[in-house]
Amino acid sequence: MPELRKDPITGRWVIISTDRAKRPTDFVRESVQIKGKGFCPFCYGNEAKTPPEILAYGRNGGPRDSSGWTVRVVPNKFPALGIEGDLDREGEGLFDRMNGVGAHEVIVETPDHQSTLATMSEKALEEVLWAYRDRILDLKNDKRFRYILIFKNHGEAAGASLEHTHSQLIALPIVPKRVREEVDSGKHYYQEKERCIFCDIIRQEVESEVRVITENTQFIALAPYAPRFPFEIWLLPKQHGSAFENNPSPVFTSLARVLKDCLMRLDAVLDHPAYNYMLHTSPIGEESNEHFHWHIEIMPKLTKVAGFEWGTGFYICPTPPEESARFLREAQVGVEKT
Amino acid sequence: MPELRKDPITGRWVIISTDRAKRPTDFVRESVQIKGKGFCPFCYGNEAKTPPEILAYGRNGGPRDSSGWTVRVVPNKFPALGIEGDLDREGEGLFDRMNGVGAHEVIVETPDHQSTLATMSEKALEEVLWAYRDRILDLKNDKRFRYILIFKNHGEAAGASLEHTHSQLIALPIVPKRVREEVDSGKHYYQEKERCIFCDIIRQEVESEVRVITENTQFIALAPYAPRFPFEIWLLPKQHGSAFENNPSPVFTSLARVLKDCLMRLDAVLDHPAYNYMLHTSPIGEESNEHFHWHIEIMPKLTKVAGFEWGTGFYICPTPPEESARFLREAQVGVEKT
């Protein structure tokens, strides 16, 4: 008999197939393979082909938009939102609109076209996290913005249009609905219990163990109780914190380690799947609170979302998270746990 | 400058690209083509290959599970939910679950493997709508269910695993989040204004005309103001009604005509795209009310949903609905308007 499970944070119900649970090898998919053919605007020597850079690490004094960098941030050449202009809000009868003011940036994670976050060094991955942090802190000075989302599309099936590994950042003049729901739900729980719901979930998961994938002193990686997708992973700091960008340096070192660990496990168990991840940090102006707990959600792209999901906002997950967690936990990936 | 627009019903914001708006021919996609190769469990002669039928029209006295039918409803061979057993609700610390009791049925829309809803006759399409109605009314007698969703995945890109045209029905022991949001939002609006928000939208759209695709005496087809997807269509009855299944007979005749019209327009403008549609009717036990207005949402599958959408619950639509509506309105499809 399948099971219906409710995510305690969003209130979203999902259907978990427990009878004919799908194993990793049951998913028909294409491995993400780096072909490295053709022109790449993110490789050394092609810096002039992107809009002028916003940030670069590692160049040690070389000129802007030259090679020698380790991580490079540039405006998206085809931005979803425009950075210029004031925010105009306007009604049109029943409808509300505003002009599309925002930032849309690309974080080129490494100059090496062949690397991925799973194969690069922990040190290099940590630099990517620092770039996330630096860009968030900088954009928070712009009073037009209410939220800054970092996300990554890895592989064509996950929506990546360039194969050279990169993340994206979008700064928005509103707090998006999904983040608002998480924050409001956390607030509601806190008002009732005076505890963070995420901290409570971590406590319960550590005790039951069945959905824990990996952990180190500062982070835990879980298969969520009511996942939308098979092999979905949530990465949470063990110690309560609302804002990713306000963490001290050792947290980024530790996060780099556990993020690389998780991505290596996905590669090992699912043969280099396409995936998306997104970083949920507290909205601008609400950075310091007891009710929201920043985290990263990683979703391998193994199934198709179809009419049922669009019609209901609720998902059918063919692999119970206890099974996903076991496969990912038992994967041999040789990462030290510190 | 792109535009941010808010859907007045769900509160969902979307980004509309107004600068480099995509025209129909800009979407890289595969046309849905019916190959008709290999064994098909939905064709005449193969009735024994599906679970025993629940309903069939048109057979005029022939034995069950034989050929001669015009529309046939069978249980899904690989159901997401199980029909047997009582509903058990259970807590597990912070988490909530219940056993996956529900119905999962397939409506085989025609015996003709080569037909689609866009190519079959209006009369045949009307029979499909009657099958939707009859199955909803029957399943509402089951006290375990709270919601019945009808949806359709057309084409592999939209999640269809069999090419013979069919719809699906899922009966659920809970009201799904997306439907709950629409109903609650409608209720809230009604409490404030004593008017249905959907009726107000129809009134405003008829007046402004720019997003109207087609209409007849009983129905209107709109490109919604804040669409999630390019060429998204909402089909609404002009006269207020909460429950699809409680309509009198002429409504189904009229709906068949306008639904076929819309699907022919999509085929003409987008070269036979894959699409999903879903029918939103009022939840069980709330059939008769002033605040919810039943409707069908049609979403052609032209773009990929990626990290940004998953992370925010908010969408980037590269074609303004005014443009989509114009292309669809001007398509020559030769449907009479009555």
Q: Per the domain annotation, does B88 fall within a domain?
A: no
Q: Is the pLDDT of residue A289 over 70?
A: yes
Max mean pLDDT among A143-152, B14-23, B85-94 falls in A143-152
Q: Is the pLDDT of residue B6 over 70?
A: yes
Among A11, A12, A9, A17, smallest CA distance to A230 is for A17
* Residue range of the domain that includes B51: 3-83+100-330
Q: Per the domain annotation, does A338 fall within a domain?
A: no
Chain A (276-295) residues lying within 8 Å, Cβ to Cβ, of chain B: 276-280
Q: Considering only the beta carbons, identify the residue of A95, A99, A310 that sits closest to B225.
A: A95
- Give the total number of structural domains in chain A: 1
Q: Per the domain annotation, does B336 fall within a domain?
A: no
Q: What is the pLDDT of residue A159?
A: 84
Q: Per the domain annotation, does A93 fall within a domain?
A: no
The ipTM, to two decimals, is 0.85
Chain A residues within an 8 Å CB radius of B5: 95-97
Identify the residue among A169, A312, A319 best suited for mutation to test binding to B, counting B beta carbons within 10 A and taking the highest.
A312
Q: Per the domain annotation, does A336 fall within a domain?
A: no
Q: How far apart are CA A42 and CA A26, in angstroms?
A: 35
- Asked if the C-beta of A41 comes within 8 angstroms of chain B's C-beta atoms, the answer is no
Which amino acid is located at B205 in the chain? E
Q: What is the CATH number of the domain that holds B211?
A: 3.30.428.10
- Asked if the C-beta of B82 comes within 8 angstroms of chain A's C-beta atoms, the answer is yes
Q: Known catalytic residue: B291?
A: no
Read off the pLDDT of each residue in A59-73 and give the average, rounded to a whole number.
Answer: 94
Q: Per the domain annotation, does A90 fall within a domain?
A: no
Chain B residues within an 8 Å CB radius of A176: 13, 311-314
Q: What is the pLDDT of residue B12?
A: 87
- Asked if the C-beta of B68 comes within 8 angstroms of chain A's C-beta atoms, the answer is no
- Asked if the C-beta of B193 comes within 8 angstroms of chain A's C-beta atoms, the answer is no
Answer yes or no: do B81 and A153 touch at CB < 8 A.
no
Q: Is the pLDDT of residue B196 over 70?
A: yes
Q: Is the pLDDT of residue B338 over 60?
A: no
- Name the least confident of A281-290, A311-320, B137-146: A311-320
Chain B residues within an 8 Å CB radius of A6: 95-97
Q: Per the domain annotation, does B89 fall within a domain?
A: no
Q: How far apart are CA A203 and CA A220, in angstroms?
A: 11
Answer yes or no: do A81 and B15 touch at CB < 8 A.
yes
Between the alpha carbon of residue B282 and those of residues A204, B86, B190, B295, the distances in Å are: 37, 24, 15, 10
Q: What is the pLDDT of residue A303?
A: 76
Q: Per the domain annotation, does A317 fall within a domain?
A: yes
Chain B residues within an 8 Å CB radius of A168: 307-308
| Strands annotated E in chain B | 3-6, 13-16, 55-57, 71-75, 89-92, 95-99, 103-108, 147-154, 166-172, 212-215, 219-222, 233-237, 275-280, 295-300, 315-317
pTM of the model: 0.91
